[in-house]
């Protein structure tokens, strides 16, 4: 029996997945690591933590199998993070993560220097605080000694690639999120790099997602138990990889992912660009294809924040009952009326990206009264996140991209009540799929294409991914949520300037 390995370097943990070439899940392992927040709205991680966790997770999934039968490895990871290496390949500083908001001034500089319209022409996207380029310029402006030592800038998953293979490489879907990439031509933008005085030599070689980028080297083989010479393919940024793992590889099918962030992802045959830059246009992990994507920064992250800070009692009960804390937290919220009796949550705990692109935006509970309970607040969090996801879906539809099926994935997909709320708010049937392994599955399948197990990724997805169920919108709730959605949309504009004053 032959195997494929998928590794996803997430924001809070690494997930490693081992599957057979027939798509059967053999084993998986999740190893967590910390996030550092030295200042408000900053977010950093030590790349060495990712590698240490990856080594353990690979050992965990492969301990009882013949590793000579692992045909290929695929890599996925959180996008936009910046790993700075010197000439000796030493890490120069902690990685600045995708959700970090410190680069507002750098983004303003980029937009002013290049021009908003020209920027979208060159990179298909506006300058946003999450993107890699702002982080590079922030280091230049604030840590010049570090900046002067930079030899390579790698994305999170590509640092793990370097650890596995010794190669500096990336692929088109992840590179699209740096703002230094010509998305339409699928290569580094020399014009962008020149305008911002960033050396092209700092950028790794770029491949299509299924292409082999290197092979497991002797040192990595010794640490992980993998066989030296095992091929490692390009893989994908977490959202493109998640989409492959959900079968979003043909027109008309979109995915909504509720993880730490929330993503609405639509396949596109051509690079469709929003002139206002409200959603992203990136290269897909499918060769020669693109995708449009709306991203909210605190989706499942909003519920996790609530759990960690206001749900200690529920966590304690869950521990005693040996169940998931979210199960206790969400218990009974189906009895709360749709709209949480006038309580609306704005999920901007880390600023926001789609549709507002505002690093100054903040979270808000609006409409609190003596009537409201903790259960009302929990439900309003689920509703607020769902309203934010609808924002992205509306923009995608307005670009003329057709939608005939919505597939849901991520941690939020495990909640039946959240799926129902989302279906009611977007007024669209939502389907669930199996397997539900997301990005790690997606890159394992890409490894299968790169090693000739499957002829192309579309074939792999049709063979492996199946629909398991659906949630249809409740017409009564649809009407109620439509009214609340209009109020939700108006709230941001009412407090936009006040956010910035904070």
Active site residues: 238
Q: Side-chain half-sphere of 166: how many Cα atoms within 13 Å?
A: 11
Tokens of 279: 């959603």
Q: Side-chain half-sphere of 313: how many Cα atoms within 13 Å?
A: 5
Q: How far apart are CA 419 and CA 237, in angstroms?
A: 25
Distances, alpha carbon 434 to alpha carbons 24, 404, 463, in Å: 11, 19, 11
Q: Which residue has the tokens 């983004």?
A: 107
Q: How far apart are CA 140 and CA 153, in angstroms?
A: 13
User: Which residues have a Cβ under 8 Å from the Cβ of 321 and sit 6 or more positions away?
Assistant: 328
Helix residue ranges per DSSP H, 211-348: 218-224, 238-245, 300-310, 312-321, 325-330
Query: CA nearest 50: which of 89, 95, 105?
Result: 95
Helix residue ranges per DSSP H, 351-474: 374-398, 416-426, 438-450, 457-464
Tokens of 401: 């991209």
Q: CB of 100 within 8 A of CB of 170?
A: no
User: Which residues have a Cβ under 8 Å from the Cβ of 393 and sit 6 or more positions away?
Assistant: 254, 256, 264, 294, 403, 426
Cα of first residue to Cα of last residue in the chain, in angstroms, is: 59
Q: How far apart are CA 87 and CA 135, in angstroms?
A: 20
Q: Which residues pair with 19 in a beta bridge?
A: 4, 25
The dihedral sign for the CA sequence 226, 232, 238, 241: negative
Q: Which residue has the tokens 């088109």?
A: 172
């Amino acid at each position: 029996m032959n195997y494929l390995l998928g590794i996803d370097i997430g924001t809070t943990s690494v997930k490693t997945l081992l599957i057979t070439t027939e798509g059967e899940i053999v084993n998986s392992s999740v190893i967590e690591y910390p996030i550092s927040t030295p200042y408000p709205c900053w977010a950093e991680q030590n790349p060495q933590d990712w590698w240490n966790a990856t080594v353990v997770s690979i050992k965990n999934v492969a301990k009882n199998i013949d590793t000579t039968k692992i045909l290929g490895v695929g890599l996925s990871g959180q996008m936009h993070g910046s790993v700075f290496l010197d000439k000796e390949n030493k890490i120069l500083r902690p990685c600045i993560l995708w959700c970090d908001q410190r680069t507002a001034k750098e983004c303003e500089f980029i937009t002013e220097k290049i021009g908003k319209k020209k920027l979208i022409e060159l990179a298909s996207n506006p300058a946003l605080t999450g993107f890699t380029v702002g982080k590079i310029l922030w280091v230049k402006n604030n840590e010049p000694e570090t900046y002067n030592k930079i030899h390579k800038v790698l994305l999170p998953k590509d640092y793990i690639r370097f650890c596995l293979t010794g190669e500096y490489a990336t692929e088109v879907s992840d590179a699209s999120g740096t703002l230094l990439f010509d998305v339409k031509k699928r290569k580094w933008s020399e014009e962008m790099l020149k305008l911002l005085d960033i050396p092209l030599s700092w950028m790794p070689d770029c491949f299509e997602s299924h292409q082999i980028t290197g092979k497991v080297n002797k040192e990595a083989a010794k640490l992980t138990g993998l066989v030296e010479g095992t091929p490692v393919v390009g893989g994908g940024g977490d959202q493109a990889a998640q989409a492959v793992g959900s079968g979003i590889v043909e027109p008309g099918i979109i995915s909504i992912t509720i993880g730490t962030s929330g993503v609405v992802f639509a396949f596109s045959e051509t690079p469709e660009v929003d002139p206002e830059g409200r959603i992203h246009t990136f290269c897909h992990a499918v060769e020669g294809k693109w995708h449009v994507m709306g991203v909210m920064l605190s989706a499942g992250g909003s519920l996790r924040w609530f759990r960690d800070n206001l749900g200690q009692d529920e966590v304690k009960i869950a521990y005693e009952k040996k169940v998931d804390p979210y199960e206790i937290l969400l218990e009974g919220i189906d009895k709360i009326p749709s709209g949480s009796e006038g309580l609306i949550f704005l999920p901007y705990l880390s600023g926001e990206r789609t549709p507002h692109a505002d690093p100054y935006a903040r979270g808000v509970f609006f409409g609190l009264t003596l009537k409201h309970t903790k259960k009302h607040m929990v439900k309003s969090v689920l509703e607020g996140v769902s309203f934010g996801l609808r924002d992205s879906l509306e923009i995608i539809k307005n670009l003329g991209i057709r939608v005939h099926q919505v597939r849901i994935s991520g941690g939020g997909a495990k909640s039946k009540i959240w799926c129902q709320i989302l279906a009611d708010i977007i007024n669209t049937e939502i389907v669930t799929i199996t397997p539900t392994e997301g990005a790690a599955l997606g890159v394992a399948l890409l490894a299968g294409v790169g090693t000739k197990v499957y002829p192309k990724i579309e074939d792999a997805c049709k063979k492996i991914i199946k629909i398991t169920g659906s949630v249809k919108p409740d017409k009564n709730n649809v009407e109620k949520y439509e009214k609340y959605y209009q109020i939700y949309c108006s709230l941001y504009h009412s407090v936009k300037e006040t956010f910035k004053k904070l």
